[in-house]
Structure 1
Amino acid sequence: MATPTSINGLIEKTSAYLNPEQVERIRQAFEFGAIAHEGQKRKAGGDYIWHPVAVAEILAEYKLDHESLIAAILHDVVEDTPFTKEDIIERFGESVADMVEGVTKLAKVQFASAKEAKAESFQKMMLAMSRDIRVILIKLADRLHNMRTMGAMRRDKQARIADETLEIYAPIAARLGINAIRIELEDLCFKAKYPFRHAVLEKRLQQVRGGRNEALKQIADTFQHRLDQDGIEGQVIGREKHLYSLYRKMHGRKFSEILDIFAFRIIVKDIDSCYRALGSAHSLYKPLPLRIKDYIAVPKKNGYQSLHTTVMGPYNNAHLEVQIRTEQMHDVSEHGIAAHWQYKQEGENGDNKLSQVDTLAQEWVKNLLEIQQSAGNSLDFLENVKIDLFPEVIYVFTPKGDIITLPRGATALDFAYALHTDLGHATIGCRIDKKAAPLRTMLESGESIQIIKGRHPAPQASWLQFVTTAKARTQIRHFMRHLKATDALNLGKRLLESALKAYQIKCTEISEELQQQILDELQLHNWQTLLEEIGSGNRMPQLVAKQIQHFSGSDQEVQASLQDKTLPITGTEGMVIHYAQCCHPLPGDNILGFISKEKGLVIHRDCCANVKQLKTQPDKCIELHWADEVEGTYLAELQLEVDNVRGSLGTIASTIASTNTDIDRVNSDDKDESYSLMNFVIKVRDRVHLAQVMRVLKRLSIVQKIQRN
Structure 2
Amino acid sequence: MMRQYELVERVAAYKPDLDEGLLNRAYVYAMKKHGSQMRASGDPYFSHPLEVAAILTDMRLDEATIAVALLHDTIEDTDATRKEIDQIFGQKIGQLVEGLTKLKRLDLVSKKAEQAENLRKLLLAIADDVRVLLVKLADRLHNMRTLGPMRPDKRARIAQETMDIYAPLAGRMGMQGMREELENLAFRHINLEAYETITARLAELRERHAATIARIETDLTEKLGQKGIEAKVTSRQKKPYSVFSKMQRKAISLEQLSDIFGFRVIVGEEEDCYRALGIVHRSWRMVPGRFKDYISLPKQNDYRSLHTTIVGPSRQRVELQIRTQPMHEIAEYGIAAHAVYKDGAASEAHGLSRESNAYAWLRRTVEQLAVGDNPEEFLEHTKLELFQDQVFCFTPKGMLIALPRGATPIDFAYAVHTDIGDTCVGCKIDGRIMPLVTELHNGDEVEITRSKASTPQPAWESIAVTGKARAAIRRATRLAIRRQYSGLGQQILERSFARSGKTFSKDSLKPLLAKLGQRDVEDALAAVGRQELSSIDVLRAAFPDFQDSRATKTPLRVDEGGWFNLPSAVGMVFRMPGQGEAAEGPILPIRGAPGDLPVRIAPDGAVPGDRIVGILEPGRWITIYPIQSPALAAYEDEMERWIDVRWDLDAQMSARFPARVAVSVINEPGSLAEVAETIAANDANIHDLSMQRTAPDVTSMVIDLEVWDLQHLNRTINQLRIKPCVSDVTRLNG
| TM superposition score normalised by structure 1 | 0.73
- 2:300 match: secondary structure: coil
Higher helix share: 1
C-alpha distance 63-427 of structure 1, shift in aligned 2 (>3 A): same
Q: Which residue in 2 is equivalent to 1:276?
A: 275
Q: Render the CA deviation track for 1:492-519: whole Å, top value 9, x for unaligned.
A: 667667667759687688799x66xx73
Q: Distance between the aligned counterparts of 2:330 and 2:105, measured in 1?
A: 38
**Which AA in structure 1 matches 2:680?**
A
1:458 is displaced (CA, Å) by 1.6
Q: Distance between the aligned counterparts of 1:150 and 1:451, measured in 2?
A: 50
C-alpha distance 485-27 of structure 1, shift in aligned 2 (>3 A): farther
- 2:379 match: secondary structure: helix
Among 130, 140, 144, the alignment partner of 1:143 is: 140
Q: Render the CA deviation track for 1:510-556: whole Å, top value 9, x for unaligned.
A: 799x66xx73x777777776666555544444335434545xxxx57
Q: Distance between the aligned counterparts of 1:651 and 1:366, measured in 2?
A: 55
1:451 is displaced (CA, Å) by 0.5
C-alpha distance 546-39 of structure 1, shift in aligned 2 (>3 A): farther
C-alpha distance 559-96 of structure 1, shift in aligned 2 (>3 A): same
Q: Which residue in 2 is equivalent to 1:624?
A: none
1:680 is displaced (CA, Å) by 4.9
Among 510, 514, 536, the alignment partner of 1:542 is: 536
- 2:40 match: secondary structure: coil
Q: Distance between the aligned counterparts of 2:657 and 2:82, measured in 1?
A: 72
1:448 is displaced (CA, Å) by 1.9
**Which AA in structure 2 matches 1:323?**
Q
2:482 is aligned with 1:481: no
Q: Distance between the aligned counterparts of 1:297 and 1:110, measured in 2?
A: 39
| TM superposition score normalised by structure 2 | 0.71
2:597 is aligned with 1:644: no
Q: Render the CA deviation track for 1:598-647: whole Å, top value 9, x for unaligned.
A: xxxxxxxxx999xxxxxxxxxxxxxxxxxxxxxxxxxxxxx985642569
Mapped contact 1:337–1:358 kept (Cα < 8 A): no
Among 326, 332, 335, the alignment partner of 1:334 is: 332
2:26 is aligned with 1:29: yes
Q: Which residue in 2 is equivalent to 1:325?
A: 323
Q: Distance between the aligned counterparts of 2:33 and 2:427, measured in 1?
A: 60
Q: Which residue in 1 is equivalent to 2:301?
A: 302
Q: Distance between the aligned counterparts of 1:482 and 1:153, measured in 2?
A: 48
1:420 is displaced (CA, Å) by 0.9
1:109 is displaced (CA, Å) by 8.1
Q: Which residue in 2 is equivalent to 1:178?
A: 175
Among 237, 240, 255, the alignment partner of 2:237 is: 240
Q: Which residue in 2 is equivalent to 1:267?
A: 266
Q: Once structures 1 and 2 are overlaid, which stretch shifts more, 39-48 or 489-498?
A: 489-498
Mapped contact 1:78–1:84 kept (Cα < 8 A): yes
For residues 443-592 of structure 1, the aligned pairs below 5 Å read 443-456=440-453, 458-485=455-482, 502=500, 519=514, 533-534=527-528, 536-550=530-544, 555=545
2:356 is aligned with 1:359: yes
Q: Render the CA deviation track for 1:414-470: whole Å, top value 9, x for unaligned.
A: 111111111111111111222222222222333221101112462222221211111
- 1:367 match: secondary structure: helix
Q: Which residue in 2 is equivalent to 1:615?
A: none
Mapped contact 2:391–2:402 kept (Cα < 8 A): yes
Q: Which residue in 2 is equivalent to 1:594?
A: none
2:680 is aligned with 1:691: yes
Q: Which residue in 2 is equivalent to 1:221?
A: 218
Q: Once structures 1 and 2 are overlaid, which stretch shifts more, 366-375 or 389-398?
A: 366-375
Q: Which residue in 1 is equivalent to 2:417?
A: 420
- 1:41 match: secondary structure: coil
**Which AA in structure 2 matches 1:321?**
E
1:405 is displaced (CA, Å) by 1.9
C-alpha distance 246-698 of structure 1, shift in aligned 2 (>3 A): closer
C-alpha distance 509-269 of structure 1, shift in aligned 2 (>3 A): closer
Q: Render the CA deviation track for 1:637-658: whole Å, top value 9, x for unaligned.
A: xx985642569x999559xxxx
Q: Render the CA deviation track for 1:551-584: whole Å, top value 9, x for unaligned.
A: xxxx576979x9xxxxxxxxxxxxxxxxxxxxxx
Among 181, 198, 205, the alignment partner of 2:195 is: 198
- 2:444 match: secondary structure: coil
Q: Once structures 1 and 2 are overlaid, which stretch shifts more, 331-340 or 92-101?
A: 92-101
Mapped contact 2:230–2:267 kept (Cα < 8 A): yes
**Which AA in structure 2 matches 1:332?**
I
C-alpha distance 510-135 of structure 1, shift in aligned 2 (>3 A): same
Q: Which residue in 2 is equivalent to 1:131?
A: 128
Q: Distance between the aligned counterparts of 1:491 and 1:193, measured in 2?
A: 53
Among 351, 369, 372, the alignment partner of 2:369 is: 372
- 2:308 match: secondary structure: strand
Q: Once structures 1 and 2 are overlaid, which stretch shifts more, 463-472 or 100-109?
A: 100-109
Q: Distance between the aligned counterparts of 1:11 and 1:112, measured in 2?
A: 37
Mapped contact 1:503–1:557 kept (Cα < 8 A): no
1:361 is displaced (CA, Å) by 1.4
Q: Render the CA deviation track for 1:640-677: whole Å, top value 9, x for unaligned.
A: 85642569x999559xxxxxxxxx99879999999998
C-alpha distance 556-437 of structure 1, shift in aligned 2 (>3 A): closer
Q: Render the CA deviation track for 1:226-270: whole Å, top value 9, x for unaligned.
A: 112112232222222223223334555554444533221111122
Q: Distance between the aligned counterparts of 2:424 and 2:469, measured in 1?
A: 12
C-alpha distance 425-695 of structure 1, shift in aligned 2 (>3 A): closer
Q: Distance between the aligned counterparts of 1:384 and 1:87, measured in 2?
A: 39
Mapped contact 1:54–1:145 kept (Cα < 8 A): yes
Q: Render the CA deviation track for 1:270-296: whole Å, top value 9, x for unaligned.
A: 222111111222233222122222222
Q: Distance between the aligned counterparts of 2:382 and 2:506, measured in 1?
A: 45
Mapped contact 1:671–1:677 kept (Cα < 8 A): no
Among 139, 153, 166, the alignment partner of 1:169 is: 166
Q: Distance between the aligned counterparts of 2:396 and 2:345, measured in 1?
A: 41
User: How many residues align structurally?
Assistant: 611
Q: Render the CA deviation track for 1:141-188: whole Å, top value 9, x for unaligned.
A: 111111111011233332332222222211111111111101111221
Q: Distance between the aligned counterparts of 2:497 and 2:675, measured in 1?
A: 30
Mapped contact 1:310–1:321 kept (Cα < 8 A): yes
Q: Distance between the aligned counterparts of 1:449 and 1:14, measured in 2?
A: 48
Q: Render the CA deviation track for 1:288-315: whole Å, top value 9, x for unaligned.
A: 1222222222222212111111122223
Q: Once structures 1 and 2 are overlaid, which stretch shifts more, 204-213 or 674-683?
A: 674-683
Q: Once structures 1 and 2 are overlaid, which stretch shifts more, 424-433 or 232-241?
A: 232-241
Q: Once structures 1 and 2 are overlaid, which stretch shifts more, 288-297 or 251-260?
A: 251-260
Q: Distance between the aligned counterparts of 1:254 and 1:222, measured in 2?
A: 30
**Which AA in structure 1 matches 2:279?**
S
- 1:399 match: secondary structure: coil
C-alpha distance 125-21 of structure 1, shift in aligned 2 (>3 A): same
Q: Distance between the aligned counterparts of 2:368 and 2:95, measured in 1?
A: 22
Q: Once structures 1 and 2 are overlaid, which stretch shifts more, 303-312 or 673-682?
A: 673-682
Q: Distance between the aligned counterparts of 1:530 and 1:110, measured in 2?
A: 39
C-alpha distance 39-226 of structure 1, shift in aligned 2 (>3 A): same
Q: Render the CA deviation track for 1:366-417: whole Å, top value 9, x for unaligned.
A: 3212432335322221111111112132222222233322112111111111
Q: Render the CA deviation track for 1:109-129: whole Å, top value 9, x for unaligned.
A: 899973322221111001222
**Which AA in structure 2 matches 1:327?**
Q
Q: Distance between the aligned counterparts of 2:82 and 2:384, measured in 1?
A: 33
Q: Which residue in 1 is equivalent to 2:434?
A: 437
Q: Distance between the aligned counterparts of 1:107 and 1:306, measured in 2?
A: 36
- 1:290 match: secondary structure: coil
Mapped contact 2:540–2:546 kept (Cα < 8 A): no
1:223 is displaced (CA, Å) by 1.1
- 2:296 match: secondary structure: coil
Aligned-pair Cα RMSD in Å: 4.7
Q: Distance between the aligned counterparts of 2:294 and 2:471, measured in 1?
A: 30
Q: Once structures 1 and 2 are overlaid, which stretch shifts more, 463-472 or 46-55?
A: 46-55
Mapped contact 1:666–1:678 kept (Cα < 8 A): no
1:215 is displaced (CA, Å) by 3.3
